[in-house]
Structure 1
Amino acid sequence: MIELVIDARRKDLGGFEVGRVLPFHSRRMVGPFIFLDQMGPAEFAPGSEAINVRPHPHIGLSTLTYLFEGEIMHRDNTGATQAIRPGEVNWMVAGKGIVHSERTDPLKKTQGGPMHGMQAWIASPTELEEVDPSFHHHGEDGQPAYENAGLFARLVAGEAYGAKAAAPIQSPLFYVHWELAEGVRTAPPPGKGAGGYSERALYVAKGEIEVGDRTFHEGQMIVLEPNADPTVKAIRPSSVMVLGGEPVGPRVIWWNFVSSSQERIDQAKADWKAGRMSLPHEDDLEFIPLPDVPATPEPAPVKPEPTHPV
């Protein structure tokens, strides 16, 4: 029933921790999901730096930001400026190249407050890697939701359970947020054997769940066998992200770049180093320079570390 269990690797980013789940050395992707981070949970003191990710580039992927608590201000060089709050979705298509920053609004910094959320990267299909970049924000009404008897489920992106979310996905996938009361039982979307998705996983963002006869806690991803049809039970109140989809093929990931081609990665590195990628108009006074780390062929561990907590 269970193919692999991945423990999030916790990393202190100066004031709060991020748990990195994907990529993992023995499991690079789940469907098209090539990167997954849990941001926090954290409580920022008034006047603290909070989230402060300077402008940086991406190619060949879409980023999906989803919050349980807090607020982040997104800016990019398509002209988008958009705050994201709990229950909303920021979906950014990098395509042939985009530059963005993610920061806490100065007023929010003075107030302090909580931060808890998820950041995912979704690799683009080969034929869509070089589309024009774009940004899409969707409020809570863009994500179908269901609530009954201690189960809350929100379809953050893709298609599942007969519903479809608003985010403009590029390949078959699903991304679901569950809030489970103690004792609640539910199930992920069907797997390959039942005509569903080829690859699926559960990530425990908070709490403790039971899958089959095994128990899993916060910070663990459970990668399911393709034909598994498990029941999930909440041992205590839990927040779980359920995700998966169809593979898009092998990908190279270096820093913030994802591509089916090493040559395209090398071109993106040269473009960023030479200043050929414009900065966001409203956030153009600083940027993150290209890391001074030589490229390492796959399947060696990814390096350098991606910029993101978000």
Structure 2
Amino acid sequence: MKRAVERIVHKPDRLGMVGDGFRVFNYIPGSSISQHRISPFLMLDFNAEYDFGPSDHIRGVDVHPHKGFETVTIAYKGSVAHHDSSGNSGVIHAGDVQWMTAGKGILHKEYHEETFSRSGGPFEMVQLWVNLPKKDKNVDPHYQAITAEQMGLHVLADDAGEVSVIAGNFAETMGPAKTYTPINLFNLRLKAGKSVHFDLPENHHAALLVINGAITIHADTVNEHDFVLFGHEGEEISLTASQDSLVLVMSGEPISEPIASYGPFVMNTQAEIRDAIMDFNLGKFGVLD
């Protein structure tokens, strides 16, 4: 059974800045798609392609806390570096993904990698926040640094394109990311005039973002930078590219628990939010300059 398009969200009119290095359009929850409706996904920010220009000043986001969820940073163009209060650091380049589990609390900063910042060039990123179930909200913070070469790669029939699988699976091609709840996350590259058909579990919430290009889904036209929320019924998704296209596809099993969020803290109750703020103020997330 085909899975119908419930809603198409065009690129928001309002542009936001995260620090001075991320020029983002917010689709979740800013487009009035609630966190419960798209659970386990909590937030999606898209830095559409933009050239910040060369700079001796390293742009980015200064030290900030996270607790109770995961951040997934997907690099399409440009390079991002990070440091945290556990002593971890790293760099992701185009095609790479950084999957950070904040768990019981961490301080973090992320910024344009120094060499890229000095040279400038196109910068294109997605950051997705993924909720953790209550039983896992206090796990120790950790990272999965996933390079482009580590992704599951599925080559589509009829020279239609390819799918880079970050998490879950596409047509039995598995992604390397380890997740706390069932999630599918992949980048689909589809050549102009070509089509692809695939299934997403009916018990998952499902959506996609057209990073580049334009597609049709069943009979619906979806343009560059449009976000699509799928309905609840059916499994089959059919896409046809009207031009060479890159599409981020996501689906996940809903976490049927209360959501209490305050900025960078996502817990189950307001009391837990107050505890998280207290822990942060008491320095329990560590120290990061």
Normalised by the length of structure 2, the TM-score is 0.89
User: Which of 232, 246, 249 in structure 2 is aligned with 1:239?
Assistant: 246
Q: Which amino acid aligns with 2:225?
A: G
Q: Provide the C-alpha distance between the structure 2 equivalents of 1:60 and 1:226, rounded to a whole number of angstroms.
A: 27
* Structure 1 residue 49, shift from structure 2 partner: 4.5
Q: Provide the C-alpha distance between the structure 2 equivalents of 1:160 and 1:251, rounded to a whole number of angstroms.
A: 29
User: Which of 83, 94, 97 in structure 1 is aligned with 2:102?
Assistant: 94
Q: Provide the C-alpha distance between the structure 1 equivalents of 2:58 and 2:121, rounded to a whole number of angstroms.
A: 9
Cα displacement string for residues 3-38 of structure 1 (whole angstroms, at most 9, x for unaligned residues): 222334342425763111112424325241111111
The residue that corresponds to 2:233 in the other structure is 227
Q: Provide the C-alpha distance between the structure 1 equivalents of 2:239 and 2:8, rounded to a whole number of angstroms.
A: 15
Q: Provide the C-alpha distance between the structure 2 equivalents of 1:12 and 1:180, rounded to a whole number of angstroms.
A: 29
Taking structure 1 as reference, are residues 263 and 198 closer, same or farther at Cα in structure 2, changes over 3 Å only?
same
Cα displacement string for residues 231-277 of structure 1 (whole angstroms, at most 9, x for unaligned residues): 11111111111001100123122211111122111222233344442
Question: Are the equivalent residues in 1 in contact too, given 2:199–2:237 (CA < 8 A)?
Answer: no
Question: Are the equivalent residues in 1 in contact too, given 2:45–2:128 (CA < 8 A)?
Answer: yes
Taking structure 1 as reference, are residues 272 and 16 closer, same or farther at Cα in structure 2, changes over 3 Å only?
closer
Q: Which amino acid aligns with 1:132?
A: D
> Mind listing any 5+ residue stretches in structure 1 that lack a counterpart?
285-310
Taking structure 1 as reference, are residues 71 and 254 closer, same or farther at Cα in structure 2, changes over 3 Å only?
same
User: Which of 258, 262, 267 in structure 2 is aligned with 1:254?
Assistant: 262
How many residues are paired up? 277
The residue that corresponds to 1:166 in the other structure is 176
Q: Provide the C-alpha distance between the structure 2 equivalents of 1:175 and 1:128, rounded to a whole number of angstroms.
A: 20
Moved over 4 A (4+): none
Taking structure 1 as reference, are residues 12 and 122 closer, same or farther at Cα in structure 2, changes over 3 Å only?
closer
Question: Are the equivalent residues in 1 in contact too, given 2:215–2:223 (CA < 8 A)?
Answer: yes
Q: Provide the C-alpha distance between the structure 2 equivalents of 1:71 and 1:255, rounded to a whole number of angstroms.
A: 25
Q: Which amino acid aligns with 1:33?
A: F
Question: Are the equivalent residues in 1 in contact too, given 2:153–2:173 (CA < 8 A)?
Answer: no
Q: Secondary structure at the match of 2:254?
A: coil
* Structure 1 residue 48, shift from structure 2 partner: 6.2
* Structure 1 residue 163, shift from structure 2 partner: 2.6
Taking structure 1 as reference, are residues 209 and 111 closer, same or farther at Cα in structure 2, changes over 3 Å only?
same
Question: Are the equivalent residues in 2 in contact too, given 1:210–1:234 (CA < 8 A)?
Answer: yes
Q: Secondary structure at the match of 1:65?
A: strand
* Structure 1 residue 107, shift from structure 2 partner: 3.0
Deviates more, 1:217-226 or 1:114-123: 217-226
* Structure 1 residue 90, shift from structure 2 partner: 0.9
> Mind listing any 5+ residue stretches in structure 2 that lack a counterpart?
none
Q: Provide the C-alpha distance between the structure 2 equivalents of 1:56 and 1:177, rounded to a whole number of angstroms.
A: 29
User: Which of 202, 220, 229 in structure 2 is aligned with 1:214?
Assistant: 220
The residue that corresponds to 1:2 in the other structure is 5
RMSD (Å) for aligned C-alpha atoms: 2.0
The residue that corresponds to 2:186 in the other structure is 176
The residue that corresponds to 1:295 in the other structure is none
Taking structure 1 as reference, are residues 27 and 34 closer, same or farther at Cα in structure 2, changes over 3 Å only?
same
